[in-house]
Amino acid sequence: MALILFDYDGVLADTLDDLIQSGQEACSQLGVNHLVTKDDLNNLELMSFSSYGRACEVPEHLVDEFVKICLSYFAEMKSPPAIFPGLSSVIRQLSVDHEIAVVTTNSSQNVNAFLARHGLDGLIHAVYGVDSPGSKVQKIAMARDRLLENREQEPVFMVGDSLSDVLAAKEASVTSIAVTWGHQSLENLLRGHPDYVVSSPQDLIGMIEQ
C-alpha cells in the first residue's frame, strides 16, 4: 500500500481559465494594471496564490488581499471546476489498494466541494489546504505521519504539475511524479528533476503499481 498525495489545481482540477480569471478580477479590484496570462502561472518558482499575486505585479501590501479575492472567486463559483478526463476512474482504481490525500495551496473548502461534485469525497482520506498550517513540505510530512502511522516503510508519491511540487517532494524525501497536463510546461518541470513524468492519468497506475 502506498500513500498518494495529489496537488489540486492543474492536477485534479482543470482550473487554468478560472485561475486567470480570478487573478484578473483581483487585479482589477485592487487597481493593479496587469493583463494576466498563462505565463504568470507557468513561470512561478513557487506555485501559490501569494506568489501568483506577485507575478501579477500586485504590491506586497496587497498580496494577502489578492489571495482572499482569488479564493473567494473559487468558493463562489456556481459549480466546482471540471476534473481532467480519465482521473475519476484512475482515483477510484488507486483507492482500492492505496491511501490518497490532497496537498494544495487552494482552500480545503474548495477542494472538498470539488471532490463531492465528482463523487470522490469518500475516496480521499485527507485534504491539506492553504488553511492548514505549514509549507507544502510540512503538509507532506503531516500527511505521511497521519496516514502511514507505524507504516513508515510504505512508499509515498507526490503528484504535481509545478516545479515547486517537484522540489517539495524532494525536500520531503518522497517520490515526485510530474504531470504534463497541468499549469506549468514540461521544460519548467524538468528543472526540478522529477523522479517520474507522466502525460496521461492512466499512466499513474502503472507508475505507482509497478
Note the pLDDT of residue 199.
Answer: 95
Note the pLDDT of residue 126.
Answer: 96
**Closest to 144 in 3D by CA, of 93, 178, 101:** 101
Measured CA to CA, the distance from residue 176 to residue 156 in angstroms comes to 9
The dihedral over CA atoms of 55, 60, 63, 65, expressed in degrees to the nearest 10, equals -150
Q: What is the pTM for the complete model shown?
A: 0.90
φ and ψ of 207, to 5 deg: -70, -45
How many residues belong to the chain?
A: 210
SS3 173: coil
> Class for domain 3-13+81-208, per CATH?
alpha beta
- Domain spans of the chain? 3-13+81-208, 16-75
Residues in the chain predicted with pLDDT less than 70, given as ranges, are: 150, 152
Cell 479590484 locates to 29
Amino acid present at 175: T
Sheet with 126-128, side-by-side order of all strands: 126-128, 99-103, 3-6, 156-160, 175-179, 196-198
Note the pLDDT of residue 148.
Answer: 85
Q: What is the pLDDT of residues 34-77, one digit of tens each?
A: 999 999 999 898 899 999 999 999 999 999 999 999 999 998 98
- ∠ CA 167-168-173, rounded to 5°: 95
